[in-house]
Amino acid sequence: MRFFIWMVIFIISFISFPIHGHAAPDVSAQQAVLIEQSSGRVLFEKNADEQASIASITKVMTAIIAIESGKMNEKVTVSRNAIYTEGSSIYLEQGEEMSLTDLVYGLMLRSGNDAAVAIAEHVGGSEEGFVYLMNEKAKWLGMKNTHFDNPHGLDSETHYSSAHDMAILMQYAMENPIFQEISGSKRYISENRSYYWQNKNKLLTIFYEYCTGGKTGYTKQTGRTLLTTAEKDGMKLIAVTLDAPDDWQDHMSMFEWGFEQFEMKEVDQNGEVVTDKKNLSEDTITLPLYKHENDTWAKEVYLKGEGLSCQASNTVLNQQDGNEKDRYMDDVAYVFHSILRWDTND
């Protein structure tokens, strides 16, 4: 009886005075990751390096290659092969001419598989040629658990990535102002159409005020995939979920957790947080660190010889079971650029 009373008291105390700390967000996804955009620091992960099908978030790679091709103002003649691509569509017609810019908007906002093939054929010379470019780009970015078979994301045994790899890709893509504009557009009208394309990313259009962009994905075999970005109080985050029945909520939970736990702090070249704003100099940079607790991540990175310049390297942190480890993206430079309704393969 006495044991029972003590248990009741313990439960009441636990409910009345919840434990605060780094408790990770609960997500429905099989694979998930949350990173800070400027540094690439991994704030939360769940099976983030596990290879899996990714569906239409594939199109982020298709979009960034198209944008970097320098052909965005060119007219693309739509092939028979493109219009007969299965899955989601922007309803192109054979022989229709549409600007590459319009096709990329149709690709990102409406997830057009026909647009993906039309883009691939124009930029890469053929669909196969474009897929080669996709895989070369993935290697260059350090996406070690990724292989592309197509530009749209329809299921294939050898078309896969990981949540972390897709976050790396989005981190790179979001440095491009054209990609930022397209990814963050709620609607768009092509000069070839009399109606607007509405963005399928409901986190951007309806659910989450801090969302700045992203890409949806779905096939029956793969399940729901989602890649989104958000910004609040000067901090930019990237979230990826694969096979997530409740992906909208997953992303909002991860973002809110990240914004609550972390903030951007000025750090000197010794990895020390600069508390006196008078000491700010060109040698200090801003990094995501825990708000209310001692966070030695920046110092550990510095001591390992990586330095702290985000323009020199992207260093990421993998948190597993409360133990912090440093993970490095090999040969990834900070690059400056010149410049929902769910359908099949959404």
Comparing C-alpha atoms, which of 80, 112, 119 is closest to residue 98? 119
Q: Catalytic residue among 38, 39, 53, 59, which?
A: 59
Distance CA 147, CA 145 (A): 7
Distance CA 284, CA 267 (A): 5
Annotation says 56 is catalytic: yes
C-alpha pair distances (Å), 250 with each of 88, 125, 239 = 24, 39, 9
The SS3 of residue 132 is helix
Annotation says 59 is catalytic: yes
How many CA atoms lie within 13 Å of 148's alpha carbon, on the beta-carbon side? Answer: 28
Q: Catalytic residue among 38, 39, 111, 185, which?
A: 111
Q: How many CB atoms are closer than 10 A to CB 22?
A: 12
Geometric angle at alpha carbon 160, from 155 and 166, rounded to 5°: 120
Q: Catalytic residue among 56, 79, 89, 185, which?
A: 56
Mutual angle of helices 59-68 and 163-173, in 10-degree steps: 30
Q: Which residues are catalytic?
A: 56, 59, 111
